[in-house]
Structure 1
Amino acid sequence: AAQVQFPDWESSEDSEDYFSFYKTLNSQVIFDRGGIISYQTSSMDFKGGANSSTFYKNVNIDLKTGNVITEKDIFIPEYKKLLNTMLTDKIIAQNNVKTAEDLLEFGYWGIEDIAANNNFSIDDKGITYLFNQGEYSAPSLGTIKVPFTYSELYPILKDNSPISSFSGK
């Protein structure tokens, strides 16, 4: 069937893996201390060149309870608006620009409307949010990583949360 659709394939300049497609699933523990495990899964789809993508999902587990740690477990009830603003401001700072609109020329879009997505990892220094490629930017930019220290997040952290031993709150 490929010969009928692509009769001049051998004389073309295209690589042999042009028709290749594969999916790779990986998982790893990225942090395991103080009763907290931060676990990351990645799903990589190879469709040839620029059409390939990798999707990441982080899961954080409180080993004392066995429960998955969500934003609501570690942040005060009215956290969302402030955290979303902090995410926007951090991405602006990471790219050395002044406004979210300035990010458009880099391939970002909708950063001013970015929303916390429960896709974060925890470690002893802070929390890192991930936004998968294509979520708020051109796929060519890859995954957007937004790290916060506990001191940066302190105003919205809950007292006595599963991460209190790291955050000091």
Structure 2
Amino acid sequence: MARKKQEWFDWIKAIGIAALLAIVIRMFVFAPIVVDGPSMLPTLENGDHMIVNKLSYTFGDPERFDVVVFHATENKDYIKRVIGLPGEHVEYVEDTLYVNGQAVNEPYISEQINALPKGNKYTFDFNLEELPGGYEEIPDGHVLVLGDNRGNSTDSRMLGLIEVEELVGETSFTYWPLGRIGIH
């Protein structure tokens, strides 16, 4: 009888430890997120289920073109792409991204830009000074983010620059639906 009791105790202890590990990992390391809306098309689709790496910016800084999750409001997280980094001046002219005056290629939207009828723009022209805050250069501790679907995205053009502290983490792995599993 004592052996049976010990076996039950061992099982309960193992399940408790597994549950505790799952909670710790979920809170501090990885978290699931579901893409809500079309703002990251064509890269991400509405309903894509992804994993957020919460440690990515604990030990490193955001890099240009990272796809990040950030706290947009108290109750809502957004998924966008980092376009501008601290110390940079960003502007768009004729669907070309310029960082500190140098043209930067954006391969993840080039197909959409090339498919537009002549004279149409994918990203309307703007510069950093025209965004909320009116900065001449992105200050330390901030990033400029845009959705890949530039005509249908609430991003830094409306929200202003995003504080790095508001970044939940980086996401690049889609695990659902099965047909879209992969790294983006």
TM-score w.r.t. the length of structure 1 is: 0.30
Q: TM-score, with normalisation over the residues of structure 2?
A: 0.28
Structure number with the higher helix fraction is: 1
